[in-house]
A = this chain, B = another copy of it.
Amino acid sequence: MMGKGRLEAFSDGVLAIIITIMVLELRAPHDATLQVLVDLKWVLASYILSFVYIGIYWNNHHHMFHATRRVNGAVLWSNLHLLFWLSLVPFATAWMGETHFASLPMAVYGGVLLMAGIAYYILQSKIIREQGENSLVARAVGGDLKGKLSPLFYIVAMPTAFVSRWISGALYVAVALMWLVPDRRIERVLAEEQPVAE
């Protein structure tokens, strides 16, 4: 049983680096023409998509640990497991951008997101087991519809990438938009619980 401070700080550090090093793929062209800027559109599109995804993960991570009191070894390692899959996002993003959203890289991108989603689910389960079924976290997560829908979308989007990259891409965007709609569950439960929280 330990405080959660360093887990949050380390995760913030890793997520901040992941979200920022992706921009290194946007390499400064030698020419100053409009064409070179237009040519960057694929890399830029893949960067924006992944920036939103990492932002969503940071946001959800923030909410989940806000409702968490203590962490144990299983939580620490489940968190590192999640960070491992998220650390592959910059690679998948760069490959997708570099190849102008080719089929295989798009499928790999979905595979990395799927594994990150599973890792998040494992982390959530470990926290709930640690905190108890009646804990703030357990009630806040509730039915967790989004958490269950997202993997389905990824599983559909992966093979679809070999048929139409537009449909596959649309599915990835759809999941991101679904999460961008603010997740008020935890905020609501927290508000009920502690009207003057923190």
- Chain B residues near A145: list those with CB within 8 A: none
A190 in complex: contacting residue of B2, B12, B62, B197, CB < 8 Å: B2
Minimal Cβ-Cβ distance residue in B for A182: B73
Find the residue from A32, A97, A103 having the highest chain B CB count within 10 A. A32
User: How many copies of this chain does the complex contain?
Assistant: 4
A77 touching B59 by the CB < 8 A rule?
yes
Minimum CB–CB distance from A184 to chain B (whole Å) comes to 7
Q: At the interface, yes or no: A76 with Cβ under 8 Å from chain B?
A: yes
- Chain B residues near A130: list those with CB within 8 A: none
- Residues of chain A touching chain B, judged by Cβ–Cβ distance below 8 Å, are 1-3, 6-10, 12-21, 23-34, 37, 48, 51, 55, 58-59, 62-63, 66, 70, 72-74, 76-77, 80, 83-84, 87-88, 90-91, 94-95, 97-99, 102-105, 108, 180, 182-184, 187, 190-191, 197-198
Query: Can you spell out 13 A-B residue pairs with CB atoms less than 8 angstroms apart?
Result: A1-B187, A1-B191, A2-B62, A6-B12, A13-B15, A14-B19, A17-B17, A19-B83, A23-B88, A31-B99, A55-B77, A70-B198, A72-B187
